[in-house]
Homo-oligomer: A and B are copies of this chain.
Amino acid sequence: MQKKNLHALMHTSTHKRSYCANFLVQQAAHRGAEKRGNMEDRRKITIADVARAAGVSNSAVSYALNGRPGVSPETRDKILQTAHNLGWQPNRAAQSLSAAKSRSIGLILDGDPSLAAVEPYFMRLIAGVTQECEKNNYSLVLRRASTAQAEVPVIEQWIASGAVDGMILTNVEAHDARFSVLVDHPDFPVVALADPSMVPHLPTLFSDDVQACSMVLEHLTQLGHKSIAHISGPENLSHTQIREKALKNMCEQQGIQYTSIATDYTSEGGTAATLELLTRYERPTAIIYDNDVMALAGLVALRKNGFSIPRDMSLVSWDDSVLCSTVSPALTSMYRDVVNAGERVTQMLLALIDGHEAPSQKEKPYTLMVRSSTVTPHHA
């Protein structure tokens, strides 16, 4: 039925490109062949098929395919050969059921992952995670929830259903709603991307945001800045809290004026917070933005209000995307290798799944990319 459709479709499109034409002929031939043995073809090839073809028992096949002792070298070769010839692949569900392992790990996208400001982060993280998964023949199972709270049932399901062997926890919040499920199941492997102080009961891969803060501050104070503002992400995120506290403490210690506004990582939030800063009596001479989208928005907003950048205001962006290096003036920013973090957090999780220890680790340090948006302020 389907096949007839395809046929018709193909024949009518033959004059489009001879490439298609050829393709279609092969298609047709192939389909013709298929019609015959269809019912039989449908069945997937199992270990029993291989056993029959090789003239051995199922268990011999299993041993051979899993590289275990119990078969003679010759038998093993013969089995491997016929398995390959038949195009056998282990049935995932059967393996999982038998082993009580899914060979999958889970990641839940929370908040709005299509929010421009968080897209690059998640995508890079996923790139790293999948990269490492491929190496170990694991799959990444991706699900989605609107809030940390909404992740709870997904996690419960994962644990009870055995759909994944472990998971990666991102966007940790203070008093995170997910903690209690995880505490109830201390043997479910989990690695968090968060500061250990915020997640004392789980191994974490953490970025050294405190050190990053001190790098930024050192850069700015060396240029002569005495009044600095911080336009941050959402207050309840552990990331935000750590940066906020670190910057505040350091500024106090060094006698630097410090002010901050928490916002939401969006372009609009960045614009609004920047404008709010300008209305304050004492204006800062430098602004640190918690991401690049807000930094760009700030740059544009400042210009519209007659500021020349970097002359009248120095800007630092916390995330370093192409945007920072492409825009003019290029933005000084903190670079963090998120792809690598994805790889490492996956390594840790797989170690945990394999029953090893996975002590918390530090990410590669941030790099401060000094570009054109930070200069010595007027009065200095």
Contact = CB atoms under 8 A, between A and B. Distances in A.
**In the complex, which of the residues A16, A91, A300 has the most CB atoms of chain B within 10 Å of its own CB atom?**
A91
A40 to B, nearest CB: 13
A128 to B, nearest CB: 8
Interface in A140-160: 140-145, 156-157, 160
A6 B325 CA distance: 43
Nearest to A338: B114
A185 to B, nearest CB: 9
Given A179-B23, A322-B293, A127 B141 contact: no
A126 interface: yes
A91 B161 contact: yes
A243 to B, nearest CB: 16
Contacts of A55: none
A377 interface: no
B326 A6 contact: no
A127 B175 CA distance: 26
A31 B122 CA distance: 34
Contact of A44 (B2, B117, B139, B160): B160
Contacts of A380: none
Interface in A96-134: 96-97, 102, 104, 109, 112-114, 116-117, 119-120, 122-124, 126-128, 130-131, 133-134
Chief secondary structure at chain A's binding surface: helix
Contacts of A104: 141
Contacts of A197: 13, 16, 20
B163 A139 contact: yes
Contacts of A56: none
Nearest to A20: B200
A326 B19 CA distance: 44
Given A93-B97, A141-B104, A327-B327, A120 B109 contact: no
Contacts of A157: 89
A5 B321 CA distance: 39
B200 A160 contact: no
A88 interface: yes
A90 interface: yes
Contact of A90 (B31, B91, B161): B161
Contacts of A163: 92, 139
Interface string A334-353: 00001100000000000000
Contact of A200 (B10, B102, B128, B144): B10
B296 A326 contact: yes
B24 A200 contact: yes
A47 interface: no
A116 B321 contact: yes
Nearest to A139: B141
A8 B26 CA distance: 69
For the complex of A and B, list the 9 residue pairs with the smallest distance between their C-beta atoms, beginning with the closest.
A89-B160, A93-B96, A130-B144, A114-B127, A93-B97, A116-B322, A119-B123, A92-B163, A89-B161
10 contacts: A19-B174, A19-B175, A20-B200, A91-B162, A92-B102, A96-B96, A112-B127, A120-B123, A131-B144, A140-B143
Interface of A: 2-3, 5-6, 9-10, 13, 16, 19-20, 23-24, 26-27, 30-31, 34, 42, 44-45, 87-94, 96-97, 102, 104, 109, 112-114, 116-117, 119-120, 122-124, 126-128, 130-131, 133-134, 139-145, 156-157, 160-163, 174-175, 179-180, 183-184, 186-187, 197, 200-201, 267, 293, 296-297, 300, 303-304, 321-323, 325-328, 338-339
